[in-house]
Structure 1
């Protein structure tokens, strides 16, 4: 079997047909291989994601693939002892590929490859996949299913393209992305939709802070919500206000938080309101603020 494909084929198992509605749902594997100097052994790690939620992790140091989060309580979705063996074999092959890439660059010492493999379903139908490998933080090679072919993203990657395609990888790579990965995702969804489809409504708080020069910053924070898409904006007397800054991140509890800030003159006494739109809300949430008031959840 072609070395680049075998790591993937090792972790794909027979499909179980399952009617999957709505979505989109994605299955993504991130893998990292690190070469070492003679004093330390090379290392390999892999993490699997269903949508944005990590459901398992493997580390070559422990040699174990272990479920994460709520999947620790799920029985029957995966045989984790067998998965540990498959990930061990994946790591061996990916580390060998790293050695090949280092030889093309004539590199020695510590170097890294990172691989992302992903497929997406919507309404039980395949609607896309990607497979890309990076070397030392730079995109190195990716697979294009339309051609189909491996596309070198660095001059040295032409060596990898020729090697893999000579060994017959193209058809198997396409099948892995378009057939086998979606089949595995359908099987996982039988056990996982309850976690992926959850709707946690946002809590909202408003804070204000005065700065030297008489400018006030109003910050609207939405937190503990899931899934990620959310709309936050400020209005002044019902007119939308231009945003000063905004951001979002994922908390340790696998929920999201997002915020939006505006700056206003300290003498401004008009009413301001933060508007929040999220799929968990039957209608938009409007949280008002006026001078002398702090609004909370």
Structure 2
């Protein structure tokens, strides 16, 4: 989910010339509150992300906001004791709203609220934000900074809109998204750009498998790369081949993997080549499929028929 939301945010940012471009960088927060917590699922949890990298986590069971990944080694970026108190207060507020929303739906039992909000900077300037809330997995209400107003996405959310706007939430929310969040992001970037600006080149492997029906599946996999944007495609004798499927994933090692699959007649010998374009590469990788031979790219592992 994090990469999708980030892509939506980045879409709001106007493009600039590559030689002057800085960023974009995003700061987003995801939280979940449950009406009936269990040992495995505390009543409130929150995670902060810089771009697509989680940099802290809080849960109501421990009562502590703690840095994650390389941010464990960063000193002075945040007062984590103060952040813990803030997250506790925010959790109490959201849990109260779970009760309110349950009453609007006349619900009982176990129910959840998921909240996502954040902002984006490009060239140190604010260029977008969002704030959405879902109830039991369904979009419930969102904030629009241009009107500004809370926009109900379910009939019951009109009650929440009226309550929050009566309490003065509109101006506070707009100020947070357009002023406080960007200021926080600018401060975090002083400590974090080295992690967010890294360029890890992809390794590439090709696998081939013949399935019943005389069909061969060729899969080109790029892995251990960062940042996310990458282009993968197959060609046959220089002509682009339509992909059967493709996908991507974010690994626990804070890197990405992406793949593209084509299906061809088993007797077809090509030539087939996988093309990989990524910002870390001085020039695109071209990795040919060679039947019963290893196909290699920069730092790649080999592949052969199975």
TM-score (norm 2): 0.88
Greater relative contact order: 1 or 2 (C-alpha under 8 angstroms, separation 6 or more)? 1
The answer for the alignment partner of 2:107 in structure 1 is 107
* Structure 2, unaligned runs of 5 or more: 1-19, 301-306
**Whole-Å Cα distance in 2 between the matches of residues 101 and 55 of structure 1?**
30
**Whole-Å Cα distance in 1 between the matches of residues 238 and 191 of structure 2?**
45
The answer for the alignment partner of 1:260 in structure 2 is 260
Q: Tell me, yes or no, if the aligned pair for 1:200 and 1:227 is still in contact at 8 Å.
A: yes
**Whole-Å Cα distance in 1 between the matches of residues 23 and 105 of structure 2?**
42
Q: Please state whether the residue corresponding to 2:72 is helix, strand or coil.
A: helix
Structure 1 range deviating more: 258-267 or 278-287: 258-267
Pair 1:199 & 2:165 matched: no
**What is the CA distance between 1:100 and its match in structure 2?**
1.0
How far does the alpha carbon of each residue in 1:110-140 deviate from its partner, in whole angstroms, 9 at most, with x for none?
1100100110110001001111111111111
The answer for the alignment partner of 1:221 in structure 2 is 221
* Structure 1, unaligned runs of 5 or more: 1-19
Structure 1 range deviating more: 201-210 or 80-89: 80-89
Q: Please state whether the residue corresponding to 1:268 is helix, strand or coil.
A: coil
**What is the CA distance between 1:169 and its match in structure 2?**
1.5
Distance 1:156 1:42, change over 3 A: farther
How far does the alpha carbon of each residue in 1:5-45 deviate from its partner, in whole angstroms, 9 at most, with x for none?
xxxxxxxxxxxxxxx96111100000100001899997000
**Whole-Å Cα distance in 2 between the matches of residues 68 and 217 of structure 1?**
39
Distance 1:192 1:39, change over 3 A: closer
Distance 1:268 1:62, change over 3 A: same
**What is the CA distance between 1:51 and its match in structure 2?**
0.4
The answer for the alignment partner of 1:58 in structure 2 is 58
The answer for the alignment partner of 1:24 in structure 2 is 24
Q: Tell me, yes or no, if the aligned pair for 1:35 and 1:41 is still in contact at 8 Å.
A: no
Q: Tell me, yes or no, if the aligned pair for 1:141 and 1:150 is still in contact at 8 Å.
A: yes
Q: Please state whether the residue corresponding to 1:291 is helix, strand or coil.
A: coil
The answer for the alignment partner of 1:11 in structure 2 is none
The answer for the alignment partner of 1:157 in structure 2 is 157
Q: Please state whether the residue corresponding to 2:163 is helix, strand or coil.
A: helix
**Whole-Å Cα distance in 2 between the matches of residues 130 and 176 of structure 1?**
11
How far does the alpha carbon of each residue in 1:160-203 deviate from its partner, in whole angstroms, 9 at most, with x for none?
11111111221111111101100000000000000000000000
Count of residue pairs brought into register by the alignment: 278
The answer for the alignment partner of 2:304 in structure 1 is none
**Whole-Å Cα distance in 1 between the matches of residues 284 and 119 of structure 2?**
33
Q: Please state whether the residue corresponding to 1:270 is helix, strand or coil.
A: coil
The answer for the alignment partner of 2:6 in structure 1 is none
Q: Tell me, yes or no, if the aligned pair for 2:232 and 2:260 is still in contact at 8 Å.
A: yes
Q: Tell me, yes or no, if the aligned pair for 1:35 and 1:42 is still in contact at 8 Å.
A: no
Distance 1:195 1:38, change over 3 A: closer
Distance 1:167 1:260, change over 3 A: same
Q: Tell me, yes or no, if the aligned pair for 1:116 and 1:132 is still in contact at 8 Å.
A: yes
Q: Please state whether the residue corresponding to 2:94 is helix, strand or coil.
A: helix
